[in-house]
Structure 1
Amino acid sequence: MRVQVDAFPFSHRSTGEVPADSLLESRQSGNPNPSNFIRRALHASTVVGNKLYIDGGEIAQYVNGNTDTQVSRVNNQTLSIDLSSSWTNSSVQIAAHDKNGAPVFNFPGLWSDGNSAFYLFSGEVSLVAGDVDTPAVALWKFTATPSGGGSWEKQTTSDPQAFNQLTRPANALVAAGKGAGFVLGGYASGKTDPAAHAGDTPVPGIVSFDWQSGQWSNASAAAFTTYGTAVSGQMHFVPPFGDDGLLVMLGGESTTPTRWDEASGQLQFNNVTMYEPGTGTWYSQATTGDAPPVRELFCVAGAEGKNGTYEIFVTGGWDAFHTTCYDDMYILSLPGFHWFKAPAISGGPRAFHTCNVVGNRQMLVVGGVNYNLGIPGDWKDPDPWSQGLGVFDMTALSWSSGYDANAAAYESPDRVKTWYRQGNGNDVAWTNDKLRTLFASTNGNGGSGSNSGSGSGNRSGGGKSGSSSSNTGAIVGGVVGGVAGLALIAGAAWFLLRRRKRNAAVSTAEKPSGGDYAYQQAPPYEGPAEVDGQGVERSPKRFSELPTGGGNEVHELAGTPGPAK
């Protein structure tokens, strides 16, 4: 099927006319040497074992030291960086691996199992790829080898009928943890799914894939935003809280059910929405401190501190009104739900980049463009970081051009420790007692996670190893102040997939007028702070025509809504 190219919400996805020889030239290396490298963006990255993998997106480069005839080109290779030894961003050797027929996407969503493989489900064909077919919806798996190589293989599904009803989205919120991958929202078009209608149609709901059982599940996200839609934000898996971890949603925007228009509903950071996959429950909690301004196309990474906290680092991005590309960084510490300002990005403003936790306490930022320079200036501006790689010490809060394979274990930054030591953790104004109890327990999963600006997967942990209860101040202050640590109790299993969906289909919706931004994230203390999920029932069709003739709408798969608490 040949796809008609439509206008794009992110105009930089089209860097100009696609030359007639683009199909030949696009096969140029997605891995140029440092002297030829200019910019990388729109990709995804994830950690498997002691390697960081980069997949998809576009790259701008010089060709033998000369200006390329095309501003940016697709990255047709899967790249890997060795994390077992130290390096600098100018000396590190980046290995390239053939795609073996696997799709080449912008905004690819990667799910890492943390040990030996990662999966690819979501994404869209780049405009600069030229006149190519949109691949059929499928799940692909990259199995890594100890040497840093690996191979792609298309996966079969144990439930073809259910899988064939899924829509492949792009620019979705993507995360992985506890043996499953998750994708929330995004949009569908002829460049994401051959069965999709023209234009960028929001895809509601949250889909999960259990790579041990091979089961797919679909659940409503109507407790997150009005229509259960979300694009350009981040979803991060936090292992220590809840029976089997929590998914935390940050930033981006919500949409109407029929058409994604930029800034249709920017989501603020002064309130955080969470999803507990083990129970299908949604939560909403207000935050305090120096919260980031609304933004999208940023990246996040997170790590668990020795003091019972978990810190999520929000880096860069594009502002809500699409006028400013950020170079700032913020830290959200849980369970205090408090924001801290961190040092600015040493490599300047950037969006469409990725972040991953590597080497214990370090965050590796890959790529990004400075959107303040406009199009095509953002692609022509050489990245201040060699090969587009920047390293941030999450404990010392300092930037570096080098990666330390022998770095010490992560500890919360001093400013975070001080905040809890002063007893502030006891002053959290919890939405309700159930949420307070959830964060007063740690399940012993431990570990760290990493997400990319395009939705790269988290590292996944093992099964639940235990739980312990106390108030927030005791959890955090107990260790910081030298009080006795938490006791661990074994038990519990991974969550039951197949949850019944709330039918969030809406036939018509008013679009916010120019400059009137609708903040549709569930507000704290009001509305459905929790929504129970139940077993899923799937509708026979993925798409339906609007009865009022207003365009196309992708519906959540039909089901009976769970009770709101």
Structure 2
Amino acid sequence: MRHQVLLSAIAFALLSTAFPAPEPQPEPQYANENENLEARSADEGQPGVISSDKFLRRAFHASAIAGNFLYVDGGQFSYINNGTPQYKFTTSTLSLDLSKDWTNATAVFNTISKIPGVPNLNFGSLWYHEAETTLYSGFAGESPSYDRGSDPGPPSLWALKLDGTGQGTWSETVDSKASTLNDIHRVTSTLQSYGPNNAWVLGGASYSEPPMSGMIKFDMNAKQFSNISSDGTGQPRSRGRMQYVPNFGPGGVHLAFGGDLKNNVLADFSIVMVWDPTASKWYNQSTTGAAPARRVDFCLAGAPSNEQSYEIFVYGGSNGNLGTSAVPFDTIHILTLPAFHWTQVSYAPGNPRHAMTCHGVGESQILVVGGADTNPPDPNSNVNAVARSKMTSKDTLTQGLGIFDLSTFEWADHYTASPAPYHQNDAIKTYYAGQQSQADIKNLTTEVSALMNQKSFTPSANTTSSSSPAPSTSHTGAIAGGVVGGVALIALLALLAWFFYRRRQRQKQNYDYTKAQGAPLEEMYKYGGPGDIRGEGERPQDYKDPNGHYVGELHGKDERRGPVELTDQTAEGPGVVEAGTGTVKRKPERLELPA
């Protein structure tokens, strides 16, 4: 065993010589958190961009991930100016770069100006069509709550053509009078999601019509809206959320959660509605585990794991009331597919929020954007006072940005552009390792089970393989074979190390044979310089040129510093000394020593 360790150490030393360790890379550096972020903002004059020291809250907006950017549109924000809270609604679109690391104190939003006519809405819509690199907005939503009495008018659709730099150009795509919008009225507080080519809008409230129970489809290629049958959707609902899951079913699935069914009767999270866009059918699926309490205005996001599960993050919300009763809704629950099992994350509540958005932004990272205060000081009955009370306190998340890690079940204040692969949290791993998960999967409805059996997962680009160590056993033959194989491997590694070492040394040589070969010793002295060949070695003789200048001692190891290497003059005849060895290699051209 000691011989094997010794051989391994020798091989490691040789390989270290042949392949020097790379220069250590610096740790990712975030921007200086003490910088004046107000000066760093792209356009502080545009509503919606506020320095972190002045920022209070952002809420009721819509947001989407497109390429390397987060885009935020509509909603309200608040900030401090001379000690007094200011309440504004956003009149520009914001973008945040996700191709670089940042903390929530150093993140910088850029602004995209809107042309006249582009609406600014609360609870609006923002759908991304990757094939066109275009965001669509304006269909759903209501006027900002600071101006509650204003009706935003009939629905229309506006397109933001993205340029890949966090900027873009707005234009109208579907006019409010277009035939495709006939018999479709504006809705707000809808459940929405979108896939590669279609957006889906479920339910919602209305200014002038009863709550909607059906669903609207928008075909992004044809630019057409259509009403979808309400079969399977049950009662009308609003203020819930819907999540697109691309990894199951022939065309992905859309899952609807929570919301207000009617008159503050809230939907049960133990039942999840599953939309199959390929079959155009809804299915109701029961769940197991610790489901969230009934709520509205929560946020939803998801991510696929390397274990081929999909975890959906449900955070915050309210029961429709403000004040201390909202504190219990400061919770996080995770629904894992394909088992449809809930896991509650354990942490101390105390900062409830609602009307925020959430997104999976790479591997295990969930980005939370904004949120109104669900536990403000008791407001009076005035509508405007209530609207402002939810935006008066300073958000506990700097700039309203937080990162939740699905692997660790922990909050972070920084975003990583190149994160580690997402592997399930231990609680979810333990669940799938047990018999209960198999029973839960077996008990899925026939239709949902068929969808879950059609999996499509792409391994993470950062995935590294891992395996558990095998049990230790004693087999003498196997050990002997392993030792022999190990010795052979070490010998091979040593040979490779020697080969590359010699190759590296030859590459370092830069002899000027044109000048050195056949030149008098005085010329060689010019290009070499005294003392170019040094070390402890074989020949103690000194060599001098005819003028008595000291050239150097030829030794076994040389450290050359001149631009051209010296030629060895020995009693055995001239030749060129091979770098690093002191070995004389003779050349056909022989130099004659001066008489």
Q: TM-score, normalised by structure 2?
A: 0.64
Kept in 2: contact 1:173–1:234 (CA 8 A): yes
Per the alignment, residue 360 of structure 2 pairs with 357
Quick one: distance in 2 between partners of 1:118 and 1:345? 37
Quick one: distance in 2 between partners of 1:297 and 1:58? 15
Would the alpha carbon gap of residues 305 and 249 (structure 1) be closer, same or farther in structure 2, given more than 3 Å must change?
A: same
Q: How does 1:32-51 map to 2 (within 5 A)?
A: 32-51=50-69
**Structure 1: segments with no counterpart, 5+ residues:** 1-26, 190-195, 256-260, 448-478, 483-565
Percent identity between the aligned chains?
33
Per the alignment, residue 95 of structure 2 pairs with 80
Per the alignment, residue 370 of structure 1 pairs with 373
Alpha-carbon deviations, 1:365-385, whole Å to 9, x = none? 111122112444432111111
Kept in 1: contact 2:200–2:216 (CA 8 A): yes
Alpha-carbon deviations, 1:474-530, whole Å to 9, x = none? xxxxx9999xxxxxxxxxxxxxxxxxxxxxxxxxxxxxxxxxxxxxxxxxxxxxxxx
In the TM superposition, what is the alpha-carbon distance from 1:29 to its structure 2 partner? 2.1
Would the alpha carbon gap of residues 156 and 92 (structure 1) be closer, same or farther in structure 2, given more than 3 Å must change?
A: same
Per the alignment, residue 103 of structure 1 pairs with 119
Quick one: distance in 2 between partners of 1:249 and 1:400? 28
Would the alpha carbon gap of residues 427 and 144 (structure 1) be closer, same or farther in structure 2, given more than 3 Å must change?
A: same
In the TM superposition, what is the alpha-carbon distance from 1:164 to its structure 2 partner? 2.5
Kept in 1: contact 2:47–2:89 (CA 8 A): no
**Structure 2: segments with no counterpart, 5+ residues:** 1-44, 379-385, 461-465, 470-595
Kept in 2: contact 1:392–1:399 (CA 8 A): yes
Q: Please give the root-mean-square deviation of Cα atoms over the aligned residues, in Å.
A: 2.6
Per the alignment, residue 242 of structure 1 pairs with 249
Secondary structure of 1:162's match?
Answer: helix
The one-letter code sitting in structure 2 at the alignment partner of 1:113 is H
Alpha-carbon deviations, 1:213-271, whole Å to 9, x = none? 22322212342223xx110100111111111011101111212xxxxx3x1x2111111
In the TM superposition, what is the alpha-carbon distance from 1:430 to its structure 2 partner? 2.8
Alpha-carbon deviations, 1:75-134, whole Å to 9, x = none? 111111000000111111111111213100000111122472211121111242488662
Kept in 1: contact 2:304–2:363 (CA 8 A): no
Kept in 2: contact 1:268–1:294 (CA 8 A): yes
Alpha-carbon deviations, 1:165-199, whole Å to 9, x = none? 2112100001111311111111111xxxxxx46xx
In the TM superposition, what is the alpha-carbon distance from 1:355 to its structure 2 partner? 0.4
Per the alignment, residue 425 of structure 2 pairs with 413
More off after superposition, 209-218 vs 340-349: 340-349
Per the alignment, residue 212 of structure 1 pairs with 221
More off after superposition, 344-353 vs 206-215: 344-353
Secondary structure of 1:167's match?
Answer: coil
Would the alpha carbon gap of residues 88 and 433 (structure 1) be closer, same or farther in structure 2, given more than 3 Å must change?
A: same
The one-letter code sitting in structure 2 at the alignment partner of 1:42 is F
Quick one: distance in 2 between partners of 1:310 and 1:234? 17
In the TM superposition, what is the alpha-carbon distance from 1:433 to its structure 2 partner? 2.5
Per the alignment, residue 508 of structure 1 pairs with none
Would the alpha carbon gap of residues 416 and 62 (structure 1) be closer, same or farther in structure 2, given more than 3 Å must change?
A: same
Q: Select 1:92's aligned residue among 107, 119, 124.
A: 107
Would the alpha carbon gap of residues 300 and 118 (structure 1) be closer, same or farther in structure 2, given more than 3 Å must change?
A: same
Would the alpha carbon gap of residues 132 and 252 (structure 1) be closer, same or farther in structure 2, given more than 3 Å must change?
A: closer
Q: How does 1:49-448 map to 2 (within 5 A)?
A: 49-63=67-81, 65-68=82-85, 72-101=87-116, 102-114=118-130, 116-120=133-137, 121-129=139-147, 134-156=152-174, 160-189=178-207, 196=208, 201-226=210-235, 229-255=236-262, 261=263, 263=264, 265-319=265-319, 323-325=325-327, 326-344=329-347, 348-373=351-376, 374=378, 375=386, 376-428=388-440, 430-444=443-457
Would the alpha carbon gap of residues 480 and 338 (structure 1) be closer, same or farther in structure 2, given more than 3 Å must change?
A: farther
Secondary structure of 1:318's match?
Answer: coil
In the TM superposition, what is the alpha-carbon distance from 1:409 to its structure 2 partner? 2.6
Quick one: distance in 2 between partners of 1:50 and 1:332? 27
Quick one: distance in 2 between partners of 1:43 and 1:379? 13
In the TM superposition, what is the alpha-carbon distance from 1:146 to its structure 2 partner? 1.7
Alpha-carbon deviations, 1:2-50, whole Å to 9, x = none? xxxxxxxxxxxxxxxxxxxxxxxxx972111111111111111110000
Kept in 2: contact 1:204–1:220 (CA 8 A): no
In the TM superposition, what is the alpha-carbon distance from 1:443 to its structure 2 partner? 4.0
Quick one: distance in 2 between partners of 1:233 and 1:130? 21
In the TM superposition, what is the alpha-carbon distance from 1:442 to its structure 2 partner? 1.1
The one-letter code sitting in structure 1 at the alignment partner of 2:354 is A
Alpha-carbon deviations, 1:347-404, whole Å to 9, x = none? 8211011101113321111111221124444321111111111111121211111111
Q: TM-score, normalised by structure 1?
A: 0.67
Would the alpha carbon gap of residues 335 and 147 (structure 1) be closer, same or farther in structure 2, given more than 3 Å must change?
A: same
Secondary structure of 1:155's match?
Answer: strand
Would the alpha carbon gap of residues 159 and 240 (structure 1) be closer, same or farther in structure 2, given more than 3 Å must change?
A: farther
Work out the number of aligned pairs and report it: 404
The one-letter code sitting in structure 2 at the alignment partner of 1:141 is A
Kept in 2: contact 1:304–1:446 (CA 8 A): no
Quick one: distance in 2 between partners of 1:438 and 1:98? 42
**Bigger relative contact order (CA 8 A; separation at least 6):** 1
Quick one: distance in 2 between partners of 1:123 and 1:167? 11
Secondary structure of 1:435's match?
Answer: helix
Kept in 2: contact 1:113–1:179 (CA 8 A): yes
Secondary structure of 1:379's match?
Answer: coil
Secondary structure of 2:449's match?
Answer: helix
Would the alpha carbon gap of residues 286 and 223 (structure 1) be closer, same or farther in structure 2, given more than 3 Å must change?
A: same
Quick one: distance in 1 between partners of 2:288 and 2:452? 16
The one-letter code sitting in structure 2 at the alignment partner of 1:87 is W
Secondary structure of 1:339's match?
Answer: strand
